[in-house]
Amino acid sequence: MMIGTVASHKSLLNMAIKAFPYVPMPLIKAFVYNIYCGGENIDEVKKTGARLAKRGINNMMISLTIEACNGNENVNPDYIVEQTQHSVNEILIPHTILMLETSGKDINAIPPGYVALKPTGFVKNAAAVLKNYNSPEYKELFEDLVSKASAVCQTIYDANQRLAQLYPSRVAPFAVGVIDAEKHELQNGVYELQRRLYKKFNKVNSPVSVVGTLQMYLSESSDLLAMEEKLAKENNYRLGLKLVRGAYIHSEKNRDTVIHKTKEDTDMNYDQGISYCIDSILAHQGNESVIGHLVVASHNAESMRLATQKTYKSEFSIGNKNKANICLGQLLGMADSVTYDLIKNDKVDNVIKYVPWGPPLETKEYLLRRLEENGDAVKNDNGFPLVRSALLTMFKRLFA
């Protein structure tokens, strides 16, 4: 209820954002952590997955929140690789198998398990490395970043190969590595990383193992989507994409020049992007399409309705197993009304939650970014309606 009160008015939300870095960690854990984060360790994340499954959310995108963007010397990239590989083998694969075996749903109705990979977590001083990825001075460090990301993706690829032997009728992958987006000035390095991983792990006529992120609030994003598809055709690999509106609107240095001028332009660009990708995937019955997998990551109800209509209710979707390669996702603790509507009213199976986990201090930084970047979503989901609902529940319990 406290969160709802803070989020119920823009001025209160802005005040909370400014004060957040100074709030003691015990208070964060007591009032915020369990809503927006999956846990501090692998066992706690497993329990979060079980709780989500009870709500009809049969898989998740887990994200270890440690990163080394600006030279944080306390970050050990080797530790991040190790822990991320453990999370694939100990969380995602067992959870996905459990859902396949116990849900009672068709084998292609269970979404894959996803693991978000922060490029800034795989090398120290990552911002400089990504920004200067093609400079001789940073070549060795960038290759090290690629090598570490590849090690995680190899774990995912091997798991997909192994499980495909056990479940041969499944069209979608069982696990997917998702390369998270960074600020615009770092993105050319991220795009190069994604293309290397696509080429290595996304074989033609096979389910994809790697998905990259496109931020559709960038004015260049529609051209970039076309270019990525062209490169995939030319280099004989498949493309996996997560489409987001954008995560860094509050911190982009050049947002006046790199981001669409209006929200309406961003909304239109986003909807056109997901429509194109969905149409491309559903034009085939199996894993023949160049665009092989799509994650529609959005809190926007209209975009979700569009994605649902095209994926589950269009003439091309009926009987098409390839719709298993289209997944809809929202952040843990946010846009729950959108998630609920997808599952209960639209009967959508391929819905996931993005679940951050890891050390409390790093998670605190994640929470601050989410307050900054998703203020509208927080307000819509957890503002006055939440306060009113909580008070009504308390009143009924006291006086019923």
Q: Helix, strand or coil for residue 266?
A: helix
Q: Compute the distance between CA of residue 212 and CA of residue 196 in angstroms, rounded to an integer.
A: 11
User: What backbone torsions phi and psi does residue 295 show, to the nearest 5 degrees?
Assistant: -110, 115
* pLDDT tens, position by position, 105-146: 999 999 999 999 999 999 999 999 999 999 999 999 999 999
Closest CA to 240 of 330, 327, 321, 316: 327
Cβ atoms of 173 and 160 within 8 Å: the answer is yes
Tell me: the pLDDT tens digits for 174-222?
Answer: 999 999 999 999 999 999 999 999 999 999 999 999 999 999 999 999 9
- At 35-90, the pLDDT tens digits run 889 999 999 999 999 999 999 999 999 999 886 555 556 779 999 999 999 999 99
More confident residue, 308 or 372: 308
Q: How far apart are CA 90 and CA 258, in angstroms?
A: 40
Pairing of strands 239-244, 210-215: parallel
Match 């944080």 to its residue by tokens.
Answer: 72
Instruction: Report how far residue 262's alpha carbon sits from residue 164's, in angstroms, rounded to the nearest whole number.
Output: 44
Please report how many Cα atoms fall inside a 13 Å half-sphere around the Cα of residue 28, on the Cβ side.
Answer: 24
Domains in the chain, ordered, with CATH?
Answer: 38-357 (3.20.20.220)
Residue 332: pLDDT band (50, 70, 90) is very high
CB 282 within 8 A of CB 321: no
Say if residue 384's pLDDT is above 90: no
d(C-alpha 377, C-alpha 20), whole Å: 18
**Ordered DSSP codes for 97-127:** HHHHHHS-S-TTSSPPEEEEE-GGGSSTTHH
- CB burial of residue 149 (10 Å; 0-12, 13-18, 19+): buried
Per-residue confidence (pLDDT) for residue 147, from 0 to 100: 98
- Within 8 A by CB and 6+ apart from 30, the residues are none
Partner residues linked to 259 by β-bridges? 218
Size of the chain, expressed as the number of residues it contains: 400
Q: At residue 93, does pLDDT exceed 80?
A: yes
